[in-house]
Amino acid sequence: MKNYFVHESSYVDENVVIGDGTKIWHFCHIQNGARIGRNCSFGQNVNISNNVKIGTGCKLQNNVSVYEGVELQDYVFCGPSMVFTNDLTPRSQYPKGASGYKRTLVKKGATIGANATIVCGNIIGSYSLIASGAVVTKNVPNHALVAGVPAKIVGWVCECGHKLNDNYQCEMCGRKYEKRLDGLEEKK
C-alpha cells in the first residue's frame, strides 16, 4: 500500500522509492532508480532523472528538473524553473552518458531561488540561499547568501531564513554564528 500521492497525469518508472507523505503533482516524471524521501512536494512538470537521490521534506516548485549526478539532502527548496546541469561540456553529437556527469550536492536546508542556475560539480552549502536568477559557478559556503551572474556572496543567512547582521546574529530568532572554513556554524 502506497502512502504517497501521485497525480494521474504523472509517470513513475520502475525501481523507484517514494517516501510516505510525498506529493507529486501534474505532469511529473520520476525516472528509474530515483530515491525520494518522506514528505516531499513536487509541483507541476518536475522531472527527476535516473538514480537521483532526494532527501526528506524537499520542495521542488514547477518546472524543475533534477538530473542524474545531482543529490538533494533534507529540506532543500528549489524555486520555480531553477536549473541544474550535469555536464560541463555537452555535445549532442558526442554524448558521454552517466560516466561523464559531474556530481552536484545540495546540502541540508539550502534554498535555490526561481530561475537560478547551478553549474554542475559544485556543493551548495547547508542553509545557504541562492537568489533568484543567480548563476552558481563555484561552491557556496554554509549559510551564504549569493546573488548575481556569476553568483557572489552578498551576505549571510540564518537557519530560519533571515539575513544575519554584521555580527552573524539573527535578529529574528536570536541564533548566533561564527565563521569557519566552510562558511558559518551556529554557536552552541
- How does pLDDT run across 143-163, given as a tens digit for each residue? 999 999 999 999 999 999 999
Q: Tell me, yes or no, whether 164 and 76 share the same domain.
A: yes
The number of C-alpha atoms within 13 Å of 74 and in the hemisphere containing its C-beta is: 4
Residue 14's domain spans which residues? 1-66
Q: CA nearest 105: which of 135, 132, 142? A: 142
Q: Tell me, yes or no, whether 31 and 77 share the same domain.
A: no
Q: Tell me, yes or no, whether 108 and 166 share the same domain.
A: yes
**Residue 175 belongs to some domain of the structure:** yes
What is the CATH number for 167? 2.160.10.10
**Total domains, the chain:** 2
Would the pTM count as exceeding 0.75?
yes
How big, in percent rounded to 5, are the helix, strand and coil portions of the chain? 0, 35, 65
Q: Phi and psi for 100 in degrees, rounded to 5?
A: -95, 0
Whether 164 contacts 170, CB under 8 Å: yes
**Residue 7 belongs to some domain of the structure:** yes
**What are the tens digits of pLDDT across the range 86-145?**
999 999 999 999 999 999 999 999 999 999 999 999 999 999 999 999 999 999 999 999
**Residue 95 belongs to some domain of the structure:** no
Q: Tell me, yes or no, whether 18 and 107 share the same domain.
A: no
Q: Tell me, yes or no, whether 104 and 19 share the same domain.
A: no
Please tell me the distance from the alpha carbon of residue 52 to that of residue 66, in angstroms, as a whole number: 7
**Residue 94 belongs to some domain of the structure:** no
